[in-house]
Structure 1
Amino acid sequence: MTATDIAIVWDPALTTGDWQLTGDGALLTAAALETAVIVSLFTDARADPGDRLPPGETDRRGWWGNALGDPVGSRLWLLRRSKRLPETLALARDYIREALAWLVEDGLADRVEVATEWRTPTRMGAVITVTQPGGGTAALRAEWAWGGL
């Protein structure tokens, strides 16, 4: 049986996620793994001291709850104004792997594979394949608006 959680419905154009109600007024649910991946990718991780912030940014961001335990989130937000280059896709792939490493560390996955791509001129995306213990796999797609050059 697959564990479920409250679904976060992601809107790539607005780069926001929200809960939704079903027709009978209950909260929409999804596989817990899907919710965990969305939270991991789209919660802003604190920028490392050596990270270059996007133009006009001074806030290194980060979720306040990270001070209480294991960090949650990704540094994808740092790429918001990056140039549309192969290096930007490579950084996105690295940031996604970094954000999802906890799945392997905590034994929820044996392996996480990530492929990044330009979906449209204004959207970057990723296909994330999570190999779970016991051999099952989950393929998840993520995309977000990109305001780069």
Structure 2
Amino acid sequence: MQAFALIAQDQRSWLERAVVISLFTWRRAEPSDPVDDQDRQGWWADAFPAVANDRIGSRLWLLRRRTITAQTLRDAQRYCEEALQWLLDDGHVLAVMVTITRPSPTQLSGLIVLERPEGDPLSLSFDNLLQVPNAI
């Protein structure tokens, strides 16, 4: 029974790390995304994907200088869902639910709930999606 608890904890830790990396690694901007200059950011290894068009990270970084409006909240939700889609595609989770809120005029908070094939859902809360987290 203790071994099962360790396996469950390892699965939870792995998923937590995967979500943080997926959300807070800067994904390359799409050609249609407005950027401040010519730098479209992105992780260098995406230039050499093992699977065609496979990319890591999110485009949340594009929201850093935007005024927080209802559209900004919708874009943040879409960017989070896009960044976490690989967890569904690869069968690591059964569902990903993203809820974005605006606790202050300059903050976006996010609640990510992952429905796992085995075990309880995993809920992760981020107080400010527009800055890099120090730790979970």
TM-score bin, normalised by smaller chain: 0.7 to 0.9
Q: Tell me, which stretches of 5 or more residues in structure 1 are unaligned?
A: 6-29
User: Whose helix proportion is higher, 1 or 2?
Assistant: 2
Percent of pairs identical after alignment? 39
1:95-120 CA-partner distances (Å, limit 9, x unpaired): 00000000000100000000001122
Within the alignment, does 1:32 sit opposite 2:8 as a pair? no
Whole-Å Cα distance in 1 between the matches of residues 33 and 61 of structure 2? 11
- State the partner residue of 2:108: 124
- State the partner residue of 2:128: 144
Q: How many matched pairs?
A: 121
Within the alignment, does 1:57 sit opposite 2:37 as a pair? yes
The alpha carbon displacement at 1:86 in A equals 0.7
Equivalent positions of 1:10-89 (< 5 A) are 31-53=13-35, 56-69=36-49, 70-89=54-73
1:60-80 CA-partner distances (Å, limit 9, x unpaired): 000001122231000001111
1:17-69 CA-partner distances (Å, limit 9, x unpaired): xxxxxxxxxxxxx711111100000000000001111xx33310000011222
Checking the alignment, whether the CA contact within 8 Å between 1:81 and 1:146 is kept in structure 2 is no
Which structure 1 residue ranges, 4+ long, deviate > 3 Å from structure 2?
Answer: none
Q: What is the RMSD of the two structures over their aligned residues, measured on CA atoms?
A: 2.0
Checking the alignment, whether the CA contact within 8 Å between 1:104 and 1:111 is kept in structure 2 is yes
The alpha carbon displacement at 1:146 in A equals 4.4
User: Whose strand proportion is higher, 1 or 2?
Assistant: 1
The alpha carbon displacement at 1:135 in A equals 5.5
Checking the alignment, whether the CA contact within 8 Å between 1:44 and 1:61 is kept in structure 2 is yes
Whole-Å Cα distance in 1 between the matches of residues 118 and 93 of structure 2? 9
Q: Tell me, which stretches of 5 or more residues in structure 2 are unaligned?
A: 1-6, 132-136
